[in-house]
Amino acid sequence: MSEFPRTWPVHVDGQDLLAVTAEDLEHLRAIRRQVGGKSARLSAMGARLRVTRGILDRIAAEHACTGDACAVCRELDRLPHPPERPEGGHGVGPDTPN
């Protein structure tokens, strides 16, 4: 298996540099474009996750909780990282003052 990128030391204008083949340079540029695209997609996904998390946190804090068998609380508890809820583990109930 050959090393990638293939490099060799060169000395240009008083600087020690590493040279690569034109083929490897193009491959490196293609990898950089791919990483840039994935980074942009991950950034957009992170933004959507933060918005979704904010919505879930608001639902957890503001839903009209019916008590221990509350369907909303059951679904929130199924999340990998359930949102924190007011004391008692439930959102706003019918008797909770606003």
Contact residues for Zn ion, defined by CB under 5 A: 65, 70, 72-73, 90
Between residues 21 and 96, which has the closer beta carbon with respect to Zn ion? 96
Kindly calculate the radius of gyration of the chain based on its CA atoms and give it in whole angstroms. Answer: 27
Burial classification of residue 71, based on how many CB atoms lie within 10 Å of its CB (0-12 exposed, 13-18 middle, 19 or more buried): exposed
CA distances, 67 to each of 48, 88, 89 (Å): 30, 9, 9
- As measured in angstroms, the least distance from the Cβ of 49 to Zn ion is 23
- As measured in angstroms, the least distance from the Cβ of 37 to Zn ion is 41
Between residues 5 and 89, which has the closer beta carbon with respect to Zn ion? 89
Between residues 13 and 87, which has the closer beta carbon with respect to Zn ion? 87
